Amino acid sequence: MQFTRRNLLKTTAAASVAIAAPHLWLPSEAHAATLKKGEPIKVGLLFSLTGALAVPEEDSTLVLQYAFDEINKNGGVNGVPVEPVIVDAKSDFNVYSEKTKELILREKVIALFGCYTSASRKAILPTVMQRDHLLYYPTCYEGAECTQNTICTGPLANQHSQDLIPFMVEKFGKKVFFVGSNYVWPKESNKNAKVWLEKAGGELLGEEYIPLGSSEFGPVLGKIRDAKPDFIFSTVVGASDIAFHKQFKQEGFKVDSMPIASLTTGEIETRAMGADFGAGHFLSAPYFQTLDNPTNQKFVEGFLKSKYGKNGTTHYNMEETYLSAYVFKAGLEKAAAAVGVENVTPRSIRDNSGGIRIEDAVSPEGLIWIDENNFNTWLKPKIGQCQADGTFKIVKAADKQVAPDPYSIYPDAGTCTKDGLKGPDGKVRKNVI
């Protein structure tokens, strides 16, 4: 593991949890996850069902249950059903870390699906890497990371803000104000956005961060009022995102003269806040519920009619999470063919997942595939504008899949390969976070 100042605090916090619960650190190799004949394939679902992150993460849990039900009804994985083990991380980074140990060591899951924020992902990665396990991280993130134990199905910065920033500058003007939640993903995402903004000839008027879960935006909106930007670029997440959009309108700001361009505010958040508060604003994502293709129509109708569709909408993060279940299925089948079912481990699934394609017939957003080197996803970026009914009209879409580039603004760092980060000197460092 490569330690940096930005992850030292989180790693220390994770270690303190291990000290508080030493029974979870079982050293024997007997606790490695393997598949057993005649038993279901256990996977861990590690999302927040309560707290400030429950708005997007509850739906991730629901859509994964729907996906695995769908897979099981169609014969499971090589004829074996998948059994999700569901835990509530409670929007608490220490709980994420503790539950990761329980899922790996006590429940002996073969893979983990979880986390919405980069802070929670970084809280659990030391355990995932120590046990040489496997995490499917199913949402957008900032990049600048190269591990050998993750598969990511959401977009990187070069697959959303790289398009969104110049689009907004062209449509609304060069002056922008950044607002984000106070943790690693918004800050790193804004580093990327600044690069795209400079290339587009834009001007950054201000940059503010609020505590994760906070609902008080009065001071920030006051600074925005004084600065008079042409648009706001938002990396605010969870319940805070809902509060931000509500207070934006309640304070008298006009969406037609100063819209919010977001990487997170989709159909779920808009439904939670009310369409009146979302209408007119913009989102960059690879998926929108309004995508017009037979696979998406089947997905939307099937999910919303199922017992898991209680929240009444689909969403980019849900669809990326749904895809992760099918990436897992394909990776497990490929690993079993390569090493034999009895020898499948979390690492062998990961190592056999490069190049996996989820075709149009399965993927609601259309064909995607896993990069053979960095294990992120090739996908088509899109930009949508929220309508009066809470759905999004797609106003721009890429013509073809865009390669994931985790080090797009750090070219001197090297290249992420399947074996680690290969620097300009040719040396390879493993598990760089």
The phi, psi pair for 224, rounded to 5°, reads: -65, -40
pLDDT at 393: 98
Domains of the chain with CATH codes:
5-156+296-380+405-429 (3.40.50.2300), 161-262 (3.40.50.2300)
Round to whole Å and give the CA distance between 186 and 88.
24
Question: Distance between CA atoms of 386 and 94, rounded to whole angstroms?
Answer: 35
Q: What is the DSSP string of 274-324?
A: -HHHHTT-EEEES--TT--SHHHHHHHHHHHHSTT-TT----HHHHHHHHH
How crowded is residue 20: how many other Cβ atoms within 10 Å of its Cβ? 10
**pLDDT truncated to tens, each residue of the chain (433 aa)?**
333 333 433 333 433 333 333 333 333 343 467 788 889 999 999 999 999 899 889 999 999 999 999 999 999 999 999 999 999 999 999 999 999 999 999 999 999 999 999 999 999 999 999 999 999 999 999 999 999 999 999 999 999 999 999 999 999 999 999 999 999 999 999 999 999 999 999 999 999 999 988 999 999 999 999 999 999 999 999 899 999 999 999 999 999 999 999 999 999 999 999 999 999 999 999 999 999 999 999 999 999 999 999 999 999 999 999 999 999 999 999 999 999 998 999 999 999 999 999 999 999 999 999 999 999 999 999 999 999 999 999 999 999 999 999 999 999 999 999 999 999 999 999 999 9
Please give the pLDDT value at position 401.
98
